[in-house]
Chain A
Amino acid sequence: MATAAAAQDTDRGTDHGTTARQGVFDAAVAADERIEPRDWMPDAYRATLVRQIAQHAHSEIIGMQPEANWISRAPSLRRKAILMAKVQDEAGHGLYLYSAAETLGVSRDELLDKLHTGRQKYSSIFNYPTLTWADVGAIGWLVDGAAITNQVPLCRCSYGPYARAMVRICKEESFHQRQGYELLLALSRGTPEQHAMAQDAVDRWWWPSLMMFGPPDDASQHSAQSMAWKIKRHSNDELRQRFVDICVPQAESLGLTLPDPDLRWNEERGHYDFGPIDWTEFREVLKGNGPCNEQRLDQRRRAHEEGAWVREAAAAYAGKHSGTSETGATRA
């Protein structure tokens, strides 16, 4: 909606006007009201949202790849149908989020271009490979589980369109997590080889999943401002702790262990203590040196280029028939 940018321009009349509008914005955020696309908002608030929502949308789209890798080799028709539905959901989630980003005055093409040229990021978790079928389960349980822990508070984010997209996404994510857990449980209770495969997948995905919550609070550059704006409701470390506390008993029920010798219940804190995270690895993957960074972006670009003829054909067809068929003319 291009109107967002236009509304902003007219608001720049005087310093006095800006101060007054800043006051209205601050009051709305303080009162837990939602900011909507055509409301005045500080430039930095807008820029932060575009960065975050775009990165979130890109993550959903790139996130289709590691799992789609296993669709053709799913062990049963049931598992295959489930996996296809899940990958299709990820595409849908990407589209909800791109729409939300567009309400801030950026175009879809611009966002895709920034993804393809590496100027906007996606979650570094998707730069790890899916080596075995059990990885599909580990992604559902741990990666989607971490995503849910992150996303549930975003349903109350101060920006209306983002919050609404998150409500829809969270409803759909819980199937993702449960199918992953069920898949791992089947393997864990299967043959010794299957059990070992499940354990190996959990061993590889545990630490990267903890990194999904972002750097520790004292090193997180955007956190304080995002909390003040109520884009973010909880700190990275707080959410990470919540996730660990949820996962430990779930792992026990699976009959699998989490690869952390320091993991133990702390009676005093009322939480599980866990070992140090390798932030050097996190930074390296973020910089582009993860196992699959290049492969993911290459495949994304290729898919976009190979789909060009479809987009062109549809546009040409629409141009040729414009003004003739009005299917929406009758009210349902």
Chain B
Amino acid sequence: MTTTDWPLWEVFVRSRRGLSHTHAGSLHAPDAELALRNARDLYTRRGEGVSIWVVPSSAITASSPDEKDPFFEPAADKPYRHPTFYEIPEGVKHL
């Protein structure tokens, strides 16, 4: 059995114009060009996309799940960033 060691790529598909690219999944390919072709065959067999990005998985930097609480905590205690924080008298319109 030969081993391939083809790198892993993450695939992002724009489903139609006006929407952003969304992560669809991943695949193995020897280079970017073949990753694009494989992504087309694998993730857009039914017209699911009008544009594809492929990114080497190794190029992605992710926040660690261990840091989850402290990393995202600053947002949790600022309810005043949400419009529902404010009390507005009844009958006031367009606000």
A interface residues with partner B (beta carbon < 8 Å)? 1, 3, 7, 10, 36, 38-40, 85, 88-89, 92, 95-96, 99, 102, 108-109, 112-113, 116, 164-165, 168, 172, 304-305, 308, 311-312, 314-315, 317-318, 321-322, 325-328, 332
Contact = CB atoms under 8 A, between A and B. Distances in A.
Given A112-B1, A113-B1, A311-B4, A317 B30 contact: yes
30 contacts: A3-B62, A7-B64, A88-B45, A89-B45, A92-B41, A92-B42, A92-B45, A95-B27, A96-B25, A96-B42, A99-B25, A108-B28, A109-B1, A109-B5, A113-B1, A116-B1, A164-B25, A165-B25, A172-B45, A172-B46, A311-B4, A312-B2, A314-B34, A315-B4, A315-B30, A318-B30, A321-B31, A328-B36, A328-B55, A332-B14
Contacts of A109: 1, 3-5
Contacts, number: 82
Contact of B21 (A1, A95, A327, A332): A332
Interface in B36-79: 36, 41-42, 45-46, 51-55, 57, 62, 64-66
Nearest to A175: B46
Nearest to B6: A315
A96 to B, nearest CB: 6
A38 B65 contact: yes
A332 B25 contact: no
B61 to A, nearest CB: 11
Contacts of B90: none
Contact of B65 (A36, A113, A165, A168): A36
A328 B4 contact: no
Contacts of B33: 325, 327
A99 B27 contact: yes
Interface residues of B, number: 33
B15 interface: no
A318 B31 contact: yes
B25 to A, nearest CB: 6
A326 B1 contact: no
Nearest to B63: A38
A10 B5 CA distance: 26
Contact of A315 (B5, B26, B53): B5
A155 B60 CA distance: 26
A159 to B, nearest CB: 14
A234 to B, nearest CB: 26
A92 B25 CA distance: 12
B82 to A, nearest CB: 23
Given A88-B45, A314-B30, A326-B32, 14 more contacts: A3-B62, A10-B66, A85-B45, A92-B41, A99-B26, A99-B27, A102-B26, A109-B5, A305-B1, A311-B2, A327-B32, A327-B36, A328-B32, A328-B54
A1 B25 contact: no
Nearest to B55: A328
Contact of B31 (A7, A96, A317): A317
B53 A332 contact: yes
Nearest to B57: A1
A148 to B, nearest CB: 17
A156 B53 CA distance: 28
B13 to A, nearest CB: 11
A198 B4 CA distance: 43
A311 B65 contact: no
A328 B21 CA distance: 14
B39 to A, nearest CB: 11
For the complex of A and B, 7 pairs with smallest distance between CB atoms:
A318-B30, A318-B31, A314-B30, A332-B51, A308-B2, A38-B65, A109-B3
